[in-house]
Amino acid sequence: GDSVTQMEGPVTLSEEAFLTINCTYTATGYPSLFWYVQYPGEGLQLLLKATKADDKGSNKGFEATYRKETTSFHLEKGSVQVSDSAVYFCALSGTSGTYKYIFGTGTRLKVLA
């Protein structure tokens, strides 16, 4: 079945470091791909999305490119801040005629001052 695999956390970085959180997927058809961020005690907020191959989603300095050839949607940010500390979820939707989300397990990011 369809699935999303994220790198395990926690990822611990110093402020201003470069961030990569890997996300790969297995899916039939052509899913839409999403990154959500969850701050402690809060719900999920959409960070960025891409709906077709080679699309690049970007928001708040974060970027991710939909790579069909490698079935990947890695999240990157050039310079992280302490305020970026959160859990990041990769998700896909829209395969096999379904709208339901398939989430990865989440990656916790800790940014140290």
Partner 1 sequence: DAMVIQNPRYQVTQFGKPVTLSCSQTLNHNVMYWYQQKSSQAPKLLFHYYDKDFNNEADTPDNFQSRRPNTSFCFLDIRSPGLGDAAMYLCATSRDMKWNEQFFGPGTRLTVL
Binding part of the chain for partner 1, among 15-23, 62-70, 71-79, 97-105 by CB under 8 A, reads 97-105
Place of tokens 């080679």: 54
φ/ψ (deg, to 5) at 68: -70, -35
Q: Minimum distance between the CB of residue 85 and partner 1, rounded to whole angstroms?
A: 15
- CA angle (37 as vertex; 69, 39 as ends), nearest 5: 160
Q: How far is CA 75 from CA 41, 94, 98, in A?
A: 22, 20, 24
Regarding 55 and contact with partner 1 (CB under 8 A), the answer is: no
Q: Using CB under 8 A, which of 3, 14, 46, 53 touches partner 1?
A: 46
Residue 13 vs 44, nearer CB to partner 1: 44
Regarding 105 and contact with partner 1 (CB under 8 A), the answer is: yes
φ/ψ (deg, to 5) at 53: -55, 140
Q: Using CB under 8 A, which of 45, 81, 83, 96 touches partner 1?
A: 45
